A = this chain, B = another copy of it.
Amino acid sequence: MTLVQDERPPYVQVADTLRAEIASGEHQPGAKLPSVKKLAERFGIADMTVQSGLRVLREEGLIVSSAGRGTFVRSDVDLSAIGAGAAPAEDDVRVQLAHLTSQVGQLAARIEELERRVIAPSVPD
């Protein structure tokens, strides 16, 4: 699979593709994602670009990475928050913390985008 549409930056397309695959269940919670090198081959891009894409998902709280082990879909990922099926409601405090962390990260990203357009002067409409 190659990234053909050059409308958006490749690393964003990587993030979107993997996010969709996680949402669709292709990569289940707790599962290990293909290695960075494998993903780079699959998409036909450089390793570092894959890392940038994974960074997006990491900030969204969808995945966690560990050197020497790999990158995994968070076992408690809230699939409903990314447009797919429902997630089981769990009562564990750590699960709720993880959800909050994910949501805070997404809010931060949205605020950052707004700041670029509002705080930065002379932004054309």
Please give the residue numbers on chain A whose beta carbons come within 8 Å of chain B beta carbons, in ascending order: 58-59, 61, 64-66, 69, 72, 74-75, 93-94, 96-97, 100-101, 103-104, 107-108, 110-120
Docked-complex contact B59 and A120, CB < 8 angstroms: no
Assuming A104-B100, A104-B104, is B114 touching A115 (CB within 8 A)?
Answer: yes
Bound-complex Cα distance A103 to B108 (A): 9
Which secondary structure dominates where chain A touches chain B? helix
User: Shortest beta-carbon distance, A106 to chain B, in Å?
Assistant: 9
CA distance A54 to B66 in the complex (A): 23
- Among residues of B, the one whose C-beta sits closest to the C-beta of A119 is B64
Q: Which residues of B contact A94 (CB under 8 A)?
A: 93
Q: Which residues of B contact A114 (CB under 8 A)?
A: 111, 114-115, 118-119
Which among B65, B97, B111, B117 is the interface contact of A93 at CB below 8 angstroms? B97
Given that A117-B118, A119-B75, A119-B117 are contacting pairs, would A101 and B96 also be in contact in the complex, using a CB cutoff of 8 Å?
A: yes
B100–A64 CB distance below 8 A: no
Contact in complex: A66, B104 (CB < 8 Å): no
Return chain B residues, CB-CB under 8 Å to A108: 59, 61, 103, 107
Interface centre among A65, A94, A104, A108 (most CB of B within 10 A): A108
